[in-house]
Amino acid sequence: MKLLLRIILFPIILILSLLIAFSKFIVTIGGTILGLFSFLVILGALACIIQGEVKLGIEALIIAFLISPYGLPKIAMWMVAYLEYGKEKLKEI
C-alpha cells in the first residue's frame, strides 16, 4: 500500500521540486532587482525630505522598506520554505 502511494505521489513531488527551484531563482533575481530599486527610492526619499516634503519622503521610505530584501522578497522566501517543507513531508510518506 505504501509503495503504491509513493508511486502516485512521485509526479507531484517532481513537479513540486521543479516549482521550488524555479521559485528560488525568481525570488533571488527579483530580490536583487528590488534591492537596487529600493536604494534608488531611498535616495529619492532623502531628496524629498531635504526639499521639505516630509510626508512624501516618509511614504517613500515605507515603500523602500517594503521592496527591500527585508520586505516582499522575505515573504516570498518564507512561502518557498513552506513549499519545501510540504515537499519533504510528502517524501516521508
- pLDDT higher than 90, residue 18: yes
- State pLDDT tens for residues 36-84: 999 999 999 999 999 999 999 999 999 999 998 888 999 999 999 999 9
- The pLDDT score that the predictor gives to residue 1 is 83
- The pLDDT score that the predictor gives to residue 40 is 96
Whether the full predicted model's pTM is greater than 0.85, yes or no, is no
- The pLDDT score that the predictor gives to residue 32 is 93
SS (H, E, C) 25-76: HHHHHHHHHHHHHHHHHHHHHHHHHHHCCHHHHHHHHHHHHHHCCCCHHHHH
